Amino acid sequence: MEPQIISDKNKVLAIFFSKRLKVKVGQGIRFLTPENYSLQIGLLEHKKRWLVPPHIHRDLVSKAKTRKSQEFVYVEKGQNIVVKVFNSTWQEMAEIMMSTGDFILFVSGGHSLDIPPACRLLEVKTGPYPGDNLAKIFKN
């Protein structure tokens, strides 16, 4: 199963990744996002023990000089999470049902999540995050 790209007129709004997504054995890491995205998502899957040698990340200046925020959501626990993806004029472009192990990257446009009880999600955003009032435009 490959990632599901949700777009509007060739503009990527979101990329949905099912828990059934696979990496070829021996491939190491499979990067799932283009290299110009501010959030890089990689998937590692190994059949045998794998060692990542001790390392320190260098401070790098981003080529992208990102202004757009991106947001990554991973469903650690839960079912029937309804995600809606909107374009920049609030037209609904997709509705996705997510459950444990699924993840999504919001690239542009808008989105909503209807999260039932007993769910646990992990959210990662482009930072620093200045808070809802400065970072978000809410639909009227």
Q: What is the mean pLDDT of residues 10-27?
A: 85
pLDDT band with cut points at 50, 70 and 90 for residue 62: low
Q: CA–CA distance from 122 to each of 47, 50, 71, 100 (Å)?
A: 25, 25, 10, 11
How many domains in the chain? 1
Q: Answer yes or no: is 63 within a domain.
A: no
Could you tell me if residue 35 is inside a domain? yes
- What is the mean predicted confidence (pLDDT) over 53-63? 74
Q: Assess if residue 19 is contained within a domain.
A: yes
CB-CB neighbours of 138 under 10 Å: 7
* Alpha-carbon radius of gyration of the chain: 16
The reported pTM is 0.83
CA-to-CA distance for 31 and 44, rounded, in angstroms? Answer: 9
- At 49 the pLDDT is 75
Residue 122: domain span: 4-45+68-135
pLDDT above 90 for 134: no
In a domain, 59, yes or no: no
- Does residue 64 carry a pLDDT above 60? no
With bands split at pLDDT 50, 70 and 90, how would you rate the model's confidence at 15?
Answer: very high
pLDDT at 121 (0 to 100)? 94
Residue 15 maps to a domain: yes
Model confidence pLDDT, tens digit, residues 19-41: 988 777 666 788 888 888 888 88
Residue 11 scores a pLDDT above 90: yes
CATH code at 85?
2.60.120
Of 72, 2, 85, 75, which is closest to residue 41 (Cα–Cα)? 72
